[in-house]
A and B are shown apart, each in its own frame.
Chain A
């Protein structure tokens, strides 16, 4: 290389180096001296969290096929945790223990509802065997579903201290399996119950009258006229059908997670499932009460299918009249009704 050119190049190179060095030195310590801030447009967690709407998540791009992984932070999980561990026990406690208290007070004050005229001795068929089968299918599944469900919500507080972790986990695991699989016969029972009984459960004017008289619940000897199902029973029918439908849909979504949507949607469905469950359990407690110890002669309807004639005349007078017209009610001197299986 010609020496004059190389010297020139060297001096230019030196100057450039000096310039860079100066720039480097100037750029060094204090933050405020930087003319370029690479983070000026960066996303900050704070601003993203503030911009979130109720239940929304901070999401980004991922390279994993599992779409759930795209969520970086979902603050709604915190609210769901609060509900599950603070509000839900209160709701559950009030509904279930509250209903238990109401029933005990009712039993204490009103006592067992007796057949006013006493037992007739003759019976009349109230529910055929298929109807009883459907009821017990739904009812027995409901009991297991309710207990295993309550175990998920409250078992940790009430049962874990008694059993210890391993036994409680095993119990809960089987409970979860029972809950998941018995849900299907329960849903089938609901459908059949709806089909066989909906026609007798359409609300009508007679039900208003029944409500006006308080169903005769509180006054001894008072029996408002009632068709095959009185207004209280119609109420239970619709509570079971509609509440059961809500349980079925929300439960279905819990069985097949993320079918209705992402994790936020799932949180909502678990809340619906839990709250509806508490209400249904309270309603069924009342139903079981009145059908067993609450009313003399009531259990026979689902037990054997045949009820005492006097019981039927007192509690379902209009239905007895219809059966009379059909010719299925025995004459006063016949000892037994004709069983129609």
Chain B
């Protein structure tokens, strides 16, 4: 069984934001919600690197652990999804997430903060696969169609890799060996356990 992960090759990312745009378009993400974003470290200085960041679908997801209503679940592929029907919009998942993935439709934490939204690895949610109901709540379900997330598919430099963790780690290692450099698999130590299937 595949264990889906994201890997952003910071040495190839050119901050073009194609991944962001593709995600926004594919899921009709409303204004103000940022499922994926590009962060540039050391901007303008030598050694500047850009990293495309969204939900990393962690092994022992902290968001799932702190949720007061336990609205998260991990699929057999290792994708961390949540149910917007159960979500009470408390905001705890954002405090716990190392990567800042959860997004909320409203700003104040009283009344309705709205249902938390985040990158779904293009795998939808608990609703039936590829239905309009699922699209309205969670966006497109590409995984159900056998496709990989659109952000990685649209990456102009193939810096953002998505797929089985073992395979993309192998691709990255090959790259590093061939070209002779690599600034590492950003976020992997924080998100995933050491084993290839973790």
**B196 CB → nearest A CB, Å:** 19
**Chain A 128-163 residues near chain B, CB threshold 8 A:** 151-153, 155-156, 160
Cα of A72 to Cα of B62 in the assembled complex, Å: 16
Question: Contacts of A177 on B, CB cut-off 8 Å?
Answer: 111
Q: Which of B39, B53, B69, B181 contacts A38 (CB 8 A)?
A: B181
State whether the Cβ of B96 lies closer than 8 Å to any Cβ in chain A: yes
Question: Contacts of A64 on B, CB cut-off 8 Å?
Answer: 34, 37
B109 touches A44 (CB 8 A): no
Q: Which of B40, B97, B180 has the most CB of A within 10 A?
A: B180
Question: Contacts of A181 on B, CB cut-off 8 Å?
Answer: 110
**Chain B 98-120 residues near chain A, CB threshold 8 A:** 98-100, 107-111
Cα of A175 to Cα of B2 in the assembled complex, Å: 39
B88 touches A77 (CB 8 A): no
B39 touches A62 (CB 8 A): yes
Chain B's closest residue to A264 (CB) is B95
A180 touches B109 (CB 8 A): yes
Question: Contacts of A41 on B, CB cut-off 8 Å?
Answer: 46-47
A31 touches B108 (CB 8 A): no
State whether the Cβ of A248 lies closer than 8 Å to any Cβ in chain B: no
State whether the Cβ of A73 lies closer than 8 Å to any Cβ in chain B: yes
State whether the Cβ of B22 lies closer than 8 Å to any Cβ in chain A: no
Question: Contacts of B111 on A, CB cut-off 8 Å?
Answer: 177, 180
A43 touches B47 (CB 8 A): yes
- Looking at B129-137, B140-148, B154-162, B184-192, the stretch in contact with chain A turns out to be B184-192
**Chain B 1-28 residues near chain A, CB threshold 8 A:** 10-11, 17
Cα of A144 to Cα of B187 in the assembled complex, Å: 41
State whether the Cβ of B66 lies closer than 8 Å to any Cβ in chain A: yes
State whether the Cβ of A74 lies closer than 8 Å to any Cβ in chain B: yes
Cα of A166 to Cα of B100 in the assembled complex, Å: 27
Question: Contacts of A71 on B, CB cut-off 8 Å?
Answer: 39, 100
Chain A's closest residue to B10 (CB) is A42
A78 touches B98 (CB 8 A): yes
State whether the Cβ of B177 lies closer than 8 Å to any Cβ in chain A: yes
State whether the Cβ of B91 lies closer than 8 Å to any Cβ in chain A: yes
A77 touches B11 (CB 8 A): no
Q: A44-B183, A75-B190, A263-B94 are in contact. Are A166 and B43 (CB under 8 A)?
A: no
**B86 CB → nearest A CB, Å:** 4
Q: Which of A45, A59, A61, A270 contacts B189 (CB 8 A)?
A: A45
A153 touches B65 (CB 8 A): no
Chain B, residues 154-174, CB within 8 Å of chain A (1/0): the string is: 000000000000000000000
Query: How many of chain B's residues touch chain A, expressed as a range?
Result: 35 or more
Q: Chain B's interface: helix, strand, loop or mixed, by majority?
A: loop
State whether the Cβ of A46 lies closer than 8 Å to any Cβ in chain B: yes
Chain A's closest residue to B61 (CB) is A81
A152 touches B85 (CB 8 A): no
**Chain B 30-79 residues near chain A, CB threshold 8 A:** 32, 34, 37-43, 46-51, 53, 62, 65-71
A172 touches B189 (CB 8 A): no
A-B contact count (CB 8 A): 169
- Looking at A186-194, A198-206, A252-260, A299-307, the stretch in contact with chain B turns out to be A252-260
Cα of A32 to Cα of B11 in the assembled complex, Å: 18
Question: Contacts of A172 on B, CB cut-off 8 Å?
Answer: 68-69, 88
State whether the Cβ of B90 lies closer than 8 Å to any Cβ in chain A: yes
Q: Which of B66, B87, B190 contacts A73 (CB 8 A)?
A: B190
Q: Which of A42, A168, A255 has the most CB of B within 10 A?
A: A42
**A32 CB → nearest B CB, Å:** 7
A73 touches B98 (CB 8 A): yes
Q: A31-B177, A64-B37, A71-B100 are in contact. Are A81 and B11 (CB under 8 A)?
A: no
A152 touches B68 (CB 8 A): yes
**A172 CB → nearest B CB, Å:** 5
Chain B's closest residue to A65 (CB) is B32
Question: Contacts of A37 on B, CB cut-off 8 Å?
Answer: 180-181
Cα of A49 to Cα of B187 in the assembled complex, Å: 10
B51 touches A72 (CB 8 A): yes
Cα of A172 to Cα of B86 in the assembled complex, Å: 9
Cα of A80 to Cα of B95 in the assembled complex, Å: 8
List 24 A-B pairs, Cβ < 8 Å.
A38-B11, A39-B11, A39-B181, A41-B46, A42-B49, A43-B41, A43-B42, A60-B41, A60-B42, A63-B17, A72-B99, A72-B186, A73-B99, A73-B187, A77-B96, A78-B62, A80-B96, A84-B65, A155-B68, A176-B90, A255-B108, A257-B107, A263-B95, A270-B92
A interface with B by C-beta (< 8 Å):
30-32, 34, 37-46, 48-49, 58-64, 66, 68-75, 77-78, 80-81, 84-85, 151-153, 155-156, 160, 165-166, 168-169, 172-173, 176-177, 180-181, 254-257, 263, 266-267, 270
Closest 9 A/B residue pairs (Cβ): A31-B180, A39-B181, A41-B47, A60-B39, A61-B43, A169-B86, A81-B62, A60-B41, A180-B110
